[in-house]
Amino acid sequence: MSMIATLTDATVKRRGKTILGPINFELAPAGITIVLGPNGAGKTTLLKVLHGVERLSSGRIQWSVPDAEARQSQAYVFQSPIMLRRTVGQNLAYPLKLVKAPKADIARRVAAWADKTGLADAIDRPATRLSGGEKQKLALGRALIRKPAVLFLDEPCANLDGRSTREIEALLAKAHADGTRIIMTTHDLGQARRLAQDVIFLLKGQYHDHGQAAAFFSKPRTAEAKSFLQGDIVE
């Protein structure tokens, strides 16, 4: 299912300070979008606004399907994944139980995703005892097991080693190939170059630049985006 999101004067304020916006743009229905920007640019807030877990102070966001349908078709993976105090297998099964999937279907899909995430040997292990990389792969598998139309990821590879990062990127590439729309923040420009089909660049809560990845990385349209890509401090 393809879904288009349109933000109109979308603004988030906290204690009188504008954190994000006003932002106006339309999010395309397919592809991998990487959201870039320095710390405090509003990247996580933008993801939460799109997912509906951050309330707008003004403006609006509208999906091309009813809000309830949009939320049911989305998944979100946090930078620090939240593990249920249950086994790996029970964590994977949880989203399917919420929608009352048949037990046989749950068992089949849990086994499949434990294998896809490389956690088959840990399926009966408490999730809280996993390593950081394993927890992130479990969180990703738990998000993808329902085949969401849209997946939001906030720095999913922060503080992970190269091997775990590579494995997670492979899972994301496969999810995208299977039809999941991905919107993701990262501080890793190498990762952004590997994954992005288009890039949103935020600065001081403002929608500063947006374009196809190849064009953004080779010829950024603003001095601030160019400085950011060069590794300079951008304020």
**pLDDT tens digits, residue range 145-169?**
999 999 999 999 988 888 889 999 9
- Please, what are the averages of pLDDT over each run of 10 residues along the chain (235 residues)? 87 94 90 94 95 94 89 90 94 95 96 95 96 93 95 91 91 94 95 96 92 93 91 81
Q: Where are the domains of the chain?
A: 5-82+149-229
pLDDT at 1: 62
Q: Burial code of 7-44, b = ≥16 C-beta within 10 A, e = fewer?
A: beebbbeeeeeebbbbbeeebeeeebbbbbbbeebbbb
Task: State the pLDDT at residue 129.
Answer: 94
**Token pair listed for 130:** 């996993």
Q: Which CATH architecture has domain 5-82+149-229?
A: 3-Layer(aba) Sandwich (3.40)
Question: pTM of the entire structure?
Answer: 0.93
Per the prediction, the chain carries an average pLDDT of 93
- 158-212 per-position pLDDT tens digit: 888 888 899 999 999 999 999 999 999 999 999 999 999 999 999 999 989 899 9
Bridge partners, residue 24, by sequence: none
| Distance in angstroms (rounded) separating the CA atoms of residues 73 and 151 | 9
d(CA 137, CA 36) in angstroms, rounded, equals 22
How far is residue 113's CA from residue 134's CA, in Å, rounded to a whole number?
13
The whole-angstrom separation of Cα 19 and Cα 67 is 24
- Looking at residue 79, its pLDDT comes to 85
> What is the pLDDT, as a whole number, of residue 98?
92
Ordered DSSP codes for 118-150? T-GGGTTSBGGGS-HHHHHHHHHHHHHTT--SE
